[in-house]
Structure 1
Amino acid sequence: MPPSNRPSAGSNRRLHRLIIAKLPLHSTACWRNWAATQAIMRTRQPLAHFALCALFWLCLSTTNTPAADSSNHWAFQPLAPQMIPSGKNVSRIQNPVDAFIVARLEAAGLQLAPGAPPPALLRRISFDLTGLPPTTEEYKPSASSIQHCIDALLASPQFGERWGRWWLDAVGYVDVLNLDNDPGNLTVAADKWRYRDYVVDAFNTDLPFDQFLLEQLAGDELTDWRNAESLTSETRRLLIATGFLRVAPDDTDVDELNTPDVHQTILQTTAENLAANLFGLTLNCARCHDHKYEPITQRDYFGFLAYFAPAYQSRGWLRPKDRVVTDLPKSAQAAHAKQIAALDAETDVLKKTQQTIRDRYRDQLLEARLPRVPAELRDEAKAAARTPFEKRSEEQRRLVGRFERLLRVTTDEVRAALTAADKAEWERLDKEIAAVNARRPVPPQIHAVFDTAAAPAPVHVLRRGEFDQPVEAVSPAMFSVLRPASAANPSAHAGATTGRRLALAQQLTAPNSPAAALLARVLMNRAWQQLFGRGLVDTSANLGFSGARPTHPELLDWLAGEFIRHGWRLKPIIRLIVTSSTYQQSSSATGSPVLARAQQADPGNDLLWHQRLRRLESEQVRDSLLAVSGVLNLRAGGPPVLTELRPDGTFAITSEALRHWANARACGCSRAARPWLSPANPPSPASATRW
């Protein structure tokens, strides 16, 4: 049934943009339906929204197949030289960015809004480049001081923290290892913050993005770190960079979750996050079948996974605590290993005593539950429950999984059943184990990704995506729609490694390759989004067939080309955009007949006749309050400032951290929500926010 009330204008406009983005790809029948829908909308009837929805699904159904000519889709085209247009109002054209915008405005009979007042402009630039308000010394009225402030802000340490934070949010960086569903029981990863500092430093030094990507995908394959006597600062930096591939939730430290299906999920999540952030393509559908909306086959999907399989293969799987590189000289590693072995022997004795108590109470609890298991399965179920997880057969694992709520006895359940004497003994053993662990030396560690075998197991296409239903074997390969005529073949590099990820990184930024063109478009669209609130392509996480079309395709391609011509450096592009009249115009959309006419002609501001009004982000709100109060600590780098869960359910920054008032980007980050920022909708690393 159609809705009984007329939907909001904003809701209709969003559907309008989606349909307009798709119509050029569809049949004339869609255009006829679109004309009818427009007529319904003009009547302002409640049926309008229903008609828009129906037409949108009609548009989807006409391209619900990868058979559409993928070679003609704009995002997959090579970058062609773009001629900079000339406009009539040359006084507002400060650089080529303005030339493209003004040309479209003049074609529609519109013009840029007046420039923003210098104080408002300075505030906008300061928040966009550093996430902080300008200082009182920076408030100067002259245009020359604006240019000086832009250069100073781009060179400030806070620039890397601000723009690096977006990259970290995009890849889903957190300071913990596991899913952290229980905020009171987080496993903070020691030294994982080193990757965060690497990213911030890369943005501050304007590390070329092709090198930035190469180091993150294959830093371990650029140096023979396994055979080095000790790690040099450069080797250490390259290994830290691979933390880029360590952001997927990994709970395999828990025995019950250290299984092949979980291993496969971690591998898939790693590859899917990477593809979505670098290519702006939705990849998940191709896990089970050929993609319905994008030119990505299931074979493409698993060929892409094969690049990362040597580091994440199920056979010889490394748990999170073992997927590290110990930053010790080889001469000291033997003594360190001996010391650890001696401490392990002490804790093993204590844990064995504790396990004896646990087994006794586990058996008592099991005996009470077994009558609820079918009689013919009780003996087998009892034996399976008593068998250690790693020693269970496949049949025993299936049986325990079937009756998990009956057969699985948790440590908390055992604790609750302990007698007073056994509880005292248990607590004594806990204290002794903690005392031994306190003597355990913890050398610096690097959370890195590296191949676990030079000859990895083959990767197969999985029928319907099921990990235990392999079909045909595949070799590592880029998606066919992005595959260059001659791709780099994986070969052995720098010791015991396959070279697969290195070959992938080289393909992604190879000159004139389809992948490099798409990558540059994605990055420039997201940079534009950070400065204007919306990208030139509205669906910044999806530049494929099912995404929107660019409002200014020539400008997007010109920016992508400039980005590559500037050596994949981001700061020159940001400087170019923020010095343009388009960026510096007022955000006011009212106050004159010219603006009123523009509001009628382009209510969605797609042509950028005024700067978009944007609210401050959650972290900016918090840090601004501290900055204007004069108590914000701008320290950069180092371990995160952790929060603690109070008994009443609220979170608090620890008292030591409270004395320093660290900025929000230094506060510990987990996939769980941060209630102290939630009123302003902070990014959620739980799903790897797409910029």
Structure 2
Amino acid sequence: MKAQRLSAFILSLSVMLLDAQAGASPRSAKIEFNREIRPVLSDACFHCHGPDKNERKAGLRLDIREEALKATQSGEFPIVPGQPEKSELIRRITTTDSEDRMPPPKAHKTLTAAQMDLLRQWIAQGAEYETHWAFQPVQRPPVPSMHSHPVDAFIRHRLAARKLRAAPEADRVTLIRRVTLDLTGLPPTPSEVDAFVNDTAPGAYERVVNRLLASPHYGERMALDWLDAARYADTNGYQVDRDRTLHAWRDWVIRAFNENKPFDQFTIEQIAGDLLPNATVEQRVATGFNRNHMINEEGGVTPEEFLAEYTADRVETTATVWLAQTFNCARCHDHKFDPFTQRDFYSLKAFFHNVSENGAGDYDKAANVSSPPFLPLPTPDRLERIDAIKAEIEKARQDQSPESKEQLTKLTKSLKDEESAIPVTLVMDEAKPRDTFILRRGVFDQPGEKVTAATPAALPLMQAGVPLNRLGLALWLVDPANPLPARVTVNRYWQMLFGTGLVRTAEDFGSQGEPPSHPELIDWLASEFISSGWDTKSMLRLLVTSATYQQSSKLNPKAHELDPDNRWLARGPRFRLQGEFVRDQALAASGLLIPKIGGPSVKPYHPPGLYEQVVNQKDNPKATYTQDKGEALYRRSLYTYWKRSVPHPAMLLFDAPFRETCTLRRPRTNTPLQALNLLNDPTYVEAARLLGQRMMREGGTSIESRLSQGFRLITARLPRRAEMRILTAALKRSVLEFQADPAGAESLLKVGETAADGALNVAELAAYTTLASTLLNLDETVTRQ
């Protein structure tokens, strides 16, 4: 009881001090609703007093000003502009009465004294609201005049306001490694580093950027993030998780980025390529974007249930990728934080509800043809063989001899074999529209009101005259009047290059997401993106040629104290590479990497026995992992076979998603398992051996020159003196250890499919292998800085 009285006294004292502080020193600067007030109200109030009319308490709505100024059912006025002392909102958030206090104790949300003070000051200033920043039209703000590059002008304007200074430019070696990894996902070669370092002519860096944007590996790097967004995998998911064939769509994405297909056309072809006039095979392949969802092939499933799941997945994925809105929250009820209704969700669903697909795959058929619609993709050679067999069949039919009948049987089987071997890819089509209903609580067999295809009411209308089908939806998504897609896309490009988006929550531009750190900059970039013709390469070139991007990432204690998360960008960003690029870098540095573009997915090294522990082999007896041989082992990680129930563990360790749903932002963890993987995975042990061989073969005759060669292949720079001393001592120690343990050396050199170079001394090669393994494990190696 004493503790309760003491707590009540402290709370009352806090409120009194808050009142005194508010009365004594009112804030003079205007409070920004979107930046300062909306996040507080959204987190603490909108769940019960927001857009969801069915869950709204006491008839009070706080997300719209006109509603917040009205008297409540009990007669109080929640907000009285200019008079916080008469505002019921302030009384409720500051009262010590647990029955009246808001948010209520059961909500487990407590406003801080600073937040209560902020709300009080805001009401005192007139309680002005703003349309949520992301829903405001994209307008091109003026560029601050203090710098020639527009990105730098906006960034340094904010830095100056916070008494921060930009870091100096990174050294050239760091810079070329940074931009090469960012734009291709691969490290620069020593010759590329030397060429840039020694190029003193004006425009040297810009020439590097243009070379990288023209590289075929640029499309592979860009595709990786898009595969996460599109939830691409090589299997159907769910319990059976059989193989599917969608790599043709993945290869289309790579080509689209390499060809610099304008992002609006990139969007239209993926959403509705089949509906374009005289649609090409390529445009139909592009629609595989919306067939990347999981497909259930289990026996006894209800088709209607999974048709509802597939269409809901398309709505949620489309809304996340192009609008950065959490539409899944409106599937069962009106959105609790943002102005989207359940009607909006199912009206969007109507655009996707007329595909000639089954709710469940046909397990009696091969997995790649069990879930139509699909598109056959015969090669010219196969078409030629099929035509030749058909001609032979026709000839045999004209001959009634017993020999011809026997030949006809064989030819018919050959034709069937050839046709069944034609690869197919899942696509969209436009079948007879199904009726679409609002599903009560999102349950497939509880239909409510019937709806028709329409875009969300809170966003701009579709242009007059566009068709009410997927093509119309695609055109609406890239309409310059739509405030979201351009902002969302340039933010993801910023996230790709700077580690964190201008809006940190790349997947959520709604009230629960974070506001942009530089609102004027994101609007300028969005406007520039649209006016450039949605030119992705132009946007990336703009970003990487800014001084902001080229800054050193070395920590400045003062800047770190004022801006620990580097949101104001007083230094260059430093972050760990994605798992795919960690592996690709090891393959490239060792010389193992096979640079072939596209084709079916490949199966590299995989922990033995893992499949058998996870995969349901009773229902899917053919689901075994058969490791590839030869060049397929050394393809880029983008092409690694992706099984949803067992994604490649080395990728998962570095935070790759399962790709069951859309992912726009991977987490970054730091665990001991990552280091253990880099030390013991056959991929990295073999890469270390090949890197050791390169050091011995290409690095000259001295230990120092060999170690320098290996260090450069991995980090792009030369080792410092202290580093060289440590590496030299470690190498000499390893040589002695392996000379004393020849069996251990032989065992180490046998890891991997490639044979060790028999001309090299076994103990020395084993020592260089362990040294190379150390280099592959350096923090600097797995970090882009």
TM-score > 0.5 by shorter chain = yes
Q: State the shift of 1:652 in Å.
A: 7.4
| Cα distance in 1 between the residues matched to 2:222 and 2:441 | 39
Partner of 2:450: 473
Answer whether contact 2:354 2:430 (CA < 8 A) is retained.
Answer: yes
Q: Equivalent residue of 2:420, what SS? A: coil
1:275 aligns with 2:319: yes
| Cα distance in 2 between the residues matched to 1:70 and 1:280 | 22
Q: State the shift of 1:443 in Å.
A: 2.2
**Letter aligned with residue 652 of structure 2:** S
Answer whether contact 2:386 2:419 (CA < 8 A) is retained.
Answer: no
**Letter aligned with residue 283 of structure 2:** L
Q: Equivalent residue of 1:257, what SS? A: coil
Q: State the shift of 1:670 in Å.
A: 2.5
Partner of 2:187: 133
Cα distance change of structure 1 residues 164 and 259 upon mapping to structure 2, 3 Å threshold:
same
Q: State the shift of 1:224 in Å.
A: 5.0
Partner of 1:559: 525
Query: In the alignment, which of 582, 585, 598 is matched to residue 548 of structure 2?
Result: 582
| Cα distance in 2 between the residues matched to 1:486 and 1:449 | 24
Query: In the alignment, which of 207, 210, 229 is matched to residue 151 of structure 1?
Result: 210
Query: In the alignment, which of 55, 58, 65 is matched to residue 111 of structure 2?
Result: 55
**Letter aligned with residue 160 of structure 1:** G
| Cα distance in 2 between the residues matched to 1:257 and 1:54 | 45
In the TM superposition, what whole-angstrom CA distance separates every residue of 1:189-239 from its partner, at most 9, and x where no partner exists? Answer: 23x1110010011111110111111111111111456xxxxxxxxx11011
1:306 aligns with 2:350: yes
Q: Equivalent residue of 1:473, what SS? A: strand
- The 5 A counterparts of 1:489-638 are 489-490=466-467, 500-511=469-480, 513=481, 515=482, 517-590=483-556, 596-638=557-599
Partner of 2:272: 218
**Letter aligned with residue 661 of structure 1:** Y
Q: Equivalent residue of 1:641, what SS? A: coil
Q: State the shift of 1:577 in Å.
A: 0.7
- What TM-score, normalized to structure 2? 0.61
**Letter aligned with residue 662 of structure 1:** R
Q: Which moved more, 1:601-610 or 1:192-201?
A: 601-610
Cα distance change of structure 1 residues 171 and 581 upon mapping to structure 2, 3 Å threshold:
same
- The 5 A counterparts of 1:644-655 are 648-649=609-610, 654-655=627-628
- The 5 A counterparts of 1:103-252 are 103-139=157-193, 140-141=196-197, 142=199, 144-179=203-238, 181=239, 186-190=241-245, 192-223=246-277, 235-251=280-296
In the TM superposition, what whole-angstrom CA distance separates every residue of 1:466-485 from its partner, at most 9, and x where no partner exists? Answer: 21111111110000111327
| Cα distance in 2 between the residues matched to 1:21 and 1:563 | 28
Cα distance change of structure 1 residues 110 and 327 upon mapping to structure 2, 3 Å threshold:
closer
Answer whether contact 1:643 1:652 (CA < 8 A) is retained.
Answer: no
**Letter aligned with residue 454 of structure 2:** A
Answer whether contact 1:30 1:59 (CA < 8 A) is retained.
Answer: no
Q: State the shift of 1:69 in Å.
A: 11
Answer whether contact 2:462 2:476 (CA < 8 A) is retained.
Answer: no
| Cα distance in 2 between the residues matched to 1:95 and 1:52 | 47
Q: State the shift of 1:627 in Å.
A: 0.7
Q: State the shift of 1:462 in Å.
A: 1.2
**Letter aligned with residue 514 of structure 2:** A
**Letter aligned with residue 286 of structure 1:** A
Query: In the alignment, which of 328, 331, 335 is matched to residue 291 of structure 1?
Result: 335
The structure having more radius of gyration, on CA atoms, is 2
Q: State the shift of 1:177 in Å.
A: 2.5
Q: Equivalent residue of 1:686, what SS? A: coil
Q: Equivalent residue of 1:307, what SS? A: helix
Partner of 1:447: 426
Partner of 1:593: none
| Cα distance in 2 between the residues matched to 1:506 and 1:446 | 25
| Cα distance in 2 between the residues matched to 1:309 and 1:508 | 18
Cα distance change of structure 1 residues 137 and 32 upon mapping to structure 2, 3 Å threshold:
farther
Query: In the alignment, which of 460, 467, 470 is matched to residue 483 of structure 1?
Result: 460
Answer whether contact 1:586 1:610 (CA < 8 A) is retained.
Answer: yes
Count how many residue pairs are aligned between Structure 1 and Structure 2.
Answer: 523
| Cα distance in 2 between the residues matched to 1:487 and 1:317 | 38
| Cα distance in 2 between the residues matched to 1:309 and 1:293 | 27
Percent of pairs identical after alignment? Answer: 35
Cα distance change of structure 1 residues 159 and 653 upon mapping to structure 2, 3 Å threshold:
farther
Q: Which moved more, 1:667-676 or 1:307-316?
A: 307-316
Partner of 2:440: 463
Q: Equivalent residue of 1:554, what SS? A: helix
- What TM-score, normalized to structure 1? 0.69
Q: State the shift of 1:308 in Å.
A: 0.5
Q: State the shift of 1:684 in Å.
A: 2.9
| Cα distance in 2 between the residues matched to 1:131 and 1:52 | 44
Partner of 1:22: 39
Q: State the shift of 1:575 in Å.
A: 0.5
Q: Which runs of 5+ in 1 are unaligned?
A: 2-16, 37-50, 63-67, 88-92, 226-234, 340-433, 492-499, 591-595
Cα distance change of structure 1 residues 303 and 646 upon mapping to structure 2, 3 Å threshold:
same
| Cα distance in 2 between the residues matched to 1:281 and 1:295 | 10
